[in-house]
Amino acid sequence: MGMTMTQKILAAHAGLESVTAGQLIEAELDLVLGNDITSPVAIHEIEKMNVDGVFHKDKIALVMDHFAPNKDIKSAQHCKCVREFACKNEISNYYDVGEMGIEHALLPEKGLTVAGDVIIGADSHTCTYGALGAFSTGVGSTDMAAGMATGKAWFKVPSAIKFNIVGKPAKWISGKDVILHIIGMIGVDGALYKSMEFVGDGIQYLTMDDRFTIANMAIEGGAKNGIFPVDDLTRAYMKEHSKRPFVEYEADADAVYDEEYTIDLSTLKPTVAFPHLPENTKTIDEVGDIKIDQVVIGSCTNGRMDDLRIAAEILKGRKVAKGLRVIVIPATQKIYLDAMEEGLIRTFIEAGAIVSTPTCGPCLGGYMGVMAEGERCVSTTNRNFVGRMGHVESEVYLASPAVAAASAITGKISGPDEIR
């Protein structure tokens, strides 16, 4: 029986010739990730273990991004805990204020994730790195602790769903529209504990930033991971950002999939997920007249250069609607600098937006954009659960940077083609 991309990676890291769906394995880890919320729990757990330090100081990444710069005393205590642990164990990849970024944009940029890796992170959107052809998945903080101590993790090998991507997308269609369309189609548990494997000729029209976005939100379909095959674009990205060797895996011709879907990019329209689940999708022509109070452009899902360029193209020479708050968050310091050099930051500020240091802040209702009762936000983030960005009676509408920027101008949920 043939294996999928994910199954081949897991077999290799478990030292096995083959694995099958449902099989329990112990696999070697290439990277263990934690942030300022999840790492303190893991650190307290590892302190209870009878271990001398961590398994490899270069294979752990600790990123202060959710509440950093510290928003209050509790977040300061969390960051202090992680900072002291990183110093004590000489963790090479510790990122704090001044060199931090949103973890799932920062790690690929720093070259810490490459094709063929097995990566765990105490953050559900660790599945982002599947865009590079890696197996990456979110785990709990206790699993993170075990990973830091031993360099290994237990997995149940997932079965898979194949998504055959075909066609060429229209101008404003991005990876966010693709993944919202898919989640709207299969539901938030449609890929529960499965691997979402994206293949097909249409992938050539998806940028690396598109692919990061799609893999990032695999968890919103319930998936264990999302993964793309390695192509010339992937290779170019890894060679630019990393000095690490990588291994490419392709699914066998007789690999078994639980379901197969075809996604024709040429038929997609800008898509919005209504409250309070990512599966509650409508295309832009179905939205209606929904006034908003806030727009957030950023996050681990849509805070990369392509995202900022698209938003700036729409906002350039225009003004944010009166009474609307627009928050733009470059995902890393490098992206911030690149956006500044391209003039994108000036475009945002002149339009009436504010630009923040890299942070997850508003995505989880942390800070830098918490909403009050009855307020509505169009956000390029990944979740719109009840109370996700603030008050339990606020509403979050998930959308692409193009829709978010267009909505910022009109003051209501709007598509980019509505801007004249």
Tens-place pLDDT, residues 43-69: 999 989 988 889 999 999 999 999 989
Give the residue carrying structure tokens 């982002």. Answer: 128
pLDDT, position 400: 98
State the CB neighbour count (10 A cutoff) for residue 116: 21
Residue 419 pLDDT level (bands cut at 50, 70, 90)? confident
pLDDT, position 345: 98
Q: Is the pLDDT of residue 420 over 80?
A: no
pLDDT, position 307: 97
pLDDT tens-digit profile of 283-336? 999 999 999 999 999 999 999 999 999 999 999 999 999 999 999 999 999 999
pLDDT, position 52: 84
Q: What is the mean pLDDT of residues 180-191?
A: 96
Query: Do 251 and 333 fall into the same domain?
Result: no
Contact criterion met (CB below 8 Å) for 38 and 65: no
Q: What is the mean pLDDT of residues 405-414?
A: 97
pLDDT, position 336: 97
H or E stretch at 14: helix 5-14
Query: Do 224 and 195 fall into the same domain?
Result: yes
Query: Do 234 and 277 fall into the same domain?
Result: no
pLDDT, position 137: 97
Query: Do 256 and 276 fall into the same domain?
Result: no
Q: What is the mean pLDDT of residues 219-230?
A: 97
Contact criterion met (CB below 8 Å) for 144 and 121: yes
pLDDT, position 121: 97
CA distance 115 to 276: 34
pLDDT tens-digit profile of 200-215? 999 999 999 999 999 9
Across the chain, mean pLDDT equals: 96
Query: Do 104 and 55 fall into the same domain?
Result: yes
Q: What is the mean pLDDT of residues 109-115?
A: 97
Contact criterion met (CB below 8 Å) for 297 and 198: no
Task: Using alpha carbons, list the distances in angstroms from residue 307 to 256, 299, 377.
Answer: 35, 10, 18
Percentage of the chain exceeding pLDDT 90: 95
DSSP annotation string for 160-174: EEEEEEES---TT--
Query: Do 200 and 82 fall into the same domain?
Result: yes
Query: Do 238 and 290 fall into the same domain?
Result: no
Contact criterion met (CB below 8 Å) for 279 and 27: no
Last residue of a domain, one of 231, 263, 295: 263
Read off the pTM.
Answer: 0.95
Contact criterion met (CB below 8 Å) for 94 and 83: yes
Lookup: tokens for 406: 């267009």
User: CATH number for the domain including 207?
Assistant: 3.30.499.10
Domain that holds residue 338: 270-418
pLDDT, position 144: 96
Contact criterion met (CB below 8 Å) for 325 and 149: no
Q: What is the mean pLDDT of residues 154-168?
A: 97
Q: Is the pLDDT of residue 100 over 90?
A: no
Percentage of the chain exceeding pLDDT 70: 100
Domain total in the chain: 2
pLDDT, position 131: 98
H or E stretch at 156: strand 152-156
Last residue of a domain, one of 227, 247, 263: 263
Query: Do 239 and 368 fall into the same domain?
Result: no
Residue 188 pLDDT level (bands cut at 50, 70, 90)? very high
- For the chain, the straight-line distance linking the first and the last C-alpha, in angstroms and rounded, comes to 55
Query: Do 288 and 222 fall into the same domain?
Result: no
Query: Do 210 and 290 fall into the same domain?
Result: no
Query: Do 112 and 202 fall into the same domain?
Result: yes
Last residue of a domain, one of 241, 263, 285: 263
pLDDT, position 346: 97
Query: Do 251 and 330 fall into the same domain?
Result: no
